Structure formats: structure tokens, C-alpha cells
A and B are shown apart, each in its own frame.
Chain A
Amino acid sequence: MQQVFDRPKSLKDVPYHYCPGCHHGVIHRLVAEQIDAFGLQNKTLAAASVGCSVLMYDYFDVDVLESPHGRAPAVATGLKRAMPDSFVFTYQGDGDLAAIGTAEIVHAANRGENITVVFVNNAVFGMTGGQMAPTTLEGQVTTTSPYGRSAATDGLPIRVCELLSTLEGTSYIARVAVDNMKNLKKAKAALKRAFTYQTKGWGFSLVEFLSSCPTNWKMTAEEANARVGKEMAAYFPLGVYKDVRAN
């Protein structure tokens, strides 16, 4: 019998701690598939961040350095500068990347560091119990925006892809989602492109995943999945924002 589906080699055979319906697990798989496809397992250095995905080193069978909250792009800069032939990626949530780590991501991007950023935007701080993030949608109720996010007091959600695309240092920027098969395929293609950028030495790449957090959104897995495609994608349009080597 022909086997058509298997666990990626660079993912350990252990159960995830993620909540049911959370997209972190799917995104892990997509990243691991590319590590395998590019034959990078023995060359990969990952900078884990702080958030629900801090335990990524329990799942990826590659070398991982845990970074302080928000600092993964700086840590990755150090990793890549010291080991230019390695494949370096950061895996960061929106609280990590767009709040406490804004300076680190903007400057790593602006330097054009030859690294790949996997940015998981679930519009809340997941790990700490669903507080408002810089990406929380207007009107969205969280534990620290109990009356709904207000543009007047909290500002409007930050669009990271659009922001970073304006920097000369960035090379490949895309926003994807994994809420249905069609989007999942596009997400795969975007990741593949991001990996190509780094392995060819073409500079900074970032793939933003719109992601679900059923637990903190207080929704069923299905409702949360549907919200990604409807509400989130409406404010955060999917697509490739920058691809400087597109022919």
C-alpha cells in the first residue's frame, strides 16, 4: 500500500499541548514540512519566543534557543551572524512580535537579516489568558478590553505585513491563513517561498498566519476557524505583500 501522508521528520512524535482547534499545531506542521523539503533539519537554528508556542522545542527536532519575550529577532540576528550557513527562523505570536518586540522586528527587518519569521497572529495574548493584543480587532472583547477594543483609547489594530513592507530591508512578506484547504495550500506556497528566500541568501522574509484561539475567543473550534476567514481576514487581507524577486 502506498503511504501518502506521514509525520514530517523534523517533528517529534509527541502530542501537542495546544488547545483543540488551535492553529499553532497546523502551522508547526507546515514549517516542519518545509524544513524537511529543503533538507534543513541538521542546519536549522530556531529562536523560540514567549507565548503559547514557547514549548515549540518539544515538537521540532531541530536546535532551538528560547528567547526573552519579543526579542527573538535579535536572538536570530546573533544566531545567523555567527552561523551564516545555517537556516534561522523565529516563531512568534502577535503579543511577542507586535507589542513588546516591535523594535526588534522592525530593526531586524530593516537590516534585511537573512532570516525567516513565522508570525502567528491570533489577535490576543493567548498564553496569559486572552488579553488585548496590538492586533485585537476593534470592538473585540478581551480580558483587558472588557467593553471591546476602542479605537479612541486603544488605537486601531496594527497591520504588521503592511508596516514591514514599507521597509527597504524586507524581501518577502505574505499573510496567509489555514482555515480551509485552499488557504492552507497558499500558506504552504508562501512558506516555501520564504524558505527559498533565506536559502538563496535573498534576505528577510516573514509569513503572517491569521490564526485561531478558540479558548480565549470563547468559541468552539469551528466558530473560531470561521472567524479567521470572516472577521480577521476582512481587516488583515490575505496575500503576498512583497516579493522582491518575483519574476
Chain B
Amino acid sequence: MARRVMIKGNEAIAMGAIEAGCRYYFGYPITPQTDIPEYLAAVLPKMGGTFLQAESEVAAINMLMGAAATGARAMTSSSSPGISLKQEGISYLAGSQIPGVIVNMSRSGPGLGGIHPSQGDYFQSTRGGGHGDYRTLVLAPSTAQENYDLTMLAFDLADKYRNPVMVLGDALIGQIKEPVELKAYRKKPKAKPWALTGAEGRHGQILKSLFLADGELTDHNWLLDKKYKSMEKEVRYETYRAEDAKMMLVAFGSVGRILRTSVDILRDKGKAVGLMRPITLFPFPTKAVRQTAEAAQVLLAMEMSTGQMVEDVRLAADCACPVDFYGRPPGSIPTPDELAKEAMKVWRKRGLK
């Protein structure tokens, strides 16, 4: 039977990683994700695994690349400024098709910013972030339970697509303490014939992202592009009280979580409001948003930023209905009441009844 425990969101990430078979962790401290390395520093060595505090985020992601290149499951975690530094490595992972899990318990920026929860890393996470034409699979949990479940899923997806996968939470998702059901990981890992394990019984093989011959890089990029398109089948999202909704709120992560209460508040007032929460940010649930836009009279994207995901919502809605936006840059966490009030403004502005 699954065990239920009361833990911090960050611990749930670390526990999910261990359950999924991750035995190699490389990281560098930064608030608000340091509980992850602290937990793994205590647990991994006892399991015969490796915890290594790198000299920088740059080194950590490259250590991950080395370990993952041998076929091992490896993870690094950080928060916004640290993720900026990891982008060089993430681009190399994508280019060389090496799997790896990167956790971003994002904080506020730009620059040193602050340690408040923020959703300002949406562009950086979903648009590649590093140099070149590539994508990272991005999973956005909104509860400690999802931290645990999606971290396990992240390892599976990384291996399946030989691609970096990011778990994008924020300071709220990492610091919150709530019950988590510790489900057992049951998948059997598949063989990785591409892995570097020494040229035993074969010639040496190469993992690289440099392609110099005429047309070679074009072919490589088309191959990657095909892969990113095939990730469409991994789309995940959740809806809440969506049936008959005239106005659909769209939000991910912590705002998606807060908005469940806002929806209840609005429903109690007799307003037909529902919620759609994308769980995969790349691939974005484009089709589902489009269908939502066709069924509802207005979409309202809400974010803890001045507006990033809303661009994907607008692209997906493709003018099937108006898309409004409420953004709140980081600094304090919006309450359900505040967000319900903002939603009501849009409700009235759009003349909904």
C-alpha cells in the first residue's frame, strides 16, 4: 500500500527522483530549492549513489551530462539565476540527445530579484532558453503530490525522448508542506544502446552536437524537430468546474492551484467560471485550449508575471474567443479573493451574465 507522508514540496521532488531510480545528483545551493540537495546529500550516499556539490551551476549541469551519457538517471536542481547558468549545458544536452532532469524552483527576477514565487521563467523554460533551435519538455506541478509524481514522469520522458526535461515549480510549490502519497515506481527501464559505456565488443561511439559537413546539421535539426512534434502526445492538463463555463481561467503551477478556490468563490456567486491548468508547458495543450476557447465566451489567463504564458493561450485560442490577461509580477502571493475580484472585472467588462 502507498505510504502517506507529510512533507515539503522540495522533499517530494527529491523522493520522487530516488523512487524513479535517480542515483546521481549534481547541484549548487540557491534559495528556494536547497532542500532538494540537502535531502539528497543525506540519502544518496547511503544508497550507493552520488551527491556532488558542484563549484557552480555551470559545472553541475555538465556533471549531469557526463553521468547521463553513461545511461544513468541523473538530476540537477536550481532556481532562476542558476537555471540561466545551466542553459549552456541544457542546450548541449538537447543537441547531443542526452536525457536529464532539471528542476527549477523558480524565484523572482530579473537579476538577483528576490526569493518570492514567480512565474517569470516561463519563456526561458518553454522557448529553449539556451542557444539554438531546441525544446525542453516542461512539467509544471501545483502540489507536493505532483512534485513527486511529475518528477518520476520527468525521468521516463527524458529517457523516452533522449531530451532534457524540466520540472518547473516555484518558491511556493517547493516550500509548501502537505500530505503526499508515495507511490512505488513500477516501470522497467529500457536498455540505452546509445550510452557511453566503453567500446566493449563494438567500435567507439560518440555523443555530440557538432555537425560540420554540408547539410548535416540541417538533417540533425529536422530530426530534433520531428522529435519535438512527436512530444504532442505527452500533453497533460487539468480542468476544474469547466462544464458550462462561460469564462475559463487559464493558469499553471501555483496560480493554477490558488485559482481553484477563486473558481469556488465565483461559482458560489452563481458565475459560470471554470479553470484550465496546463501541466505540460511544452508541449503546450494547444488543442485543448482551442476547444476551450470555442466552448467558452472568454478566456482569462492569470500569471505571476507581466504576461508570458498568455502568448501561448492567445496563439492556441486563435481568435476563437477573446483572451484577457491578469498578471501580477512577483513580490507577494495573490490570494484567491484577489484573483476572484480580478476575474469579476473581466466578467463585467465582457458583459457576461
Residue numbers of A with Cβ under 8 A of B are 41-45, 47-48, 54-55, 57, 60-68, 71, 74-83, 86, 103-104, 106-107
A83 CA / B69 CA spacing, docked (Å): 10
A81 CA / B53 CA spacing, docked (Å): 13
- Does B207 sit at the interface, judged by CB under 8 A? yes
B40-56 contact mask (Cβ, 8 Å, vs A): 1 or 0: 00000000001010111
CB distance from A234 to the nearest CB of B (A): 33
- Does B252 sit at the interface, judged by CB under 8 A? no
Are B196 and A81 neighbours in the complex by a CB distance under 8 Å? no
Are B198 and A61 neighbours in the complex by a CB distance under 8 Å? no
Contact of B62 (CB < 8 Å), options: A43, A83, A104: A104
Complex interface: stretch among B88-96, B112-120, B185-193, B315-323: B88-96
Are A75 and B204 neighbours in the complex by a CB distance under 8 Å? no
A67: B residues at CB distance < 8 A: 62, 65, 92
Least CB separation from B207: chain A residue: A65
Are A79 and B58 neighbours in the complex by a CB distance under 8 Å? no
Please list the 4 inter-chain residue pairs (A to B) with the smallest Cβ-Cβ separation, ordered nearest first: A78-B66, A74-B62, A66-B208, A78-B67
Residue numbers of B with Cβ under 8 A of A are 24, 26, 50, 52, 54-56, 58-60, 62-70, 72, 74, 88-89, 92, 96, 196-201, 203-210
Interface on chain A toward B: helix, strand, loop, or mixed SS?
A: mixed
Are B55 and A64 neighbours in the complex by a CB distance under 8 Å? no
A43 CA / B199 CA spacing, docked (Å): 7
Contact of B66 (CB < 8 Å), options: A54, A74, A107: A74
Are B59 and A71 neighbours in the complex by a CB distance under 8 Å? yes
CB distance from B210 to the nearest CB of A (A): 6
Contact of A86 (CB < 8 Å), options: B26, B50, B59, B198: B198
Are B206 and A77 neighbours in the complex by a CB distance under 8 Å? no
Least CB separation from B208: chain A residue: A66
A81 CA / B55 CA spacing, docked (Å): 16
Are A63 and B204 neighbours in the complex by a CB distance under 8 Å? yes
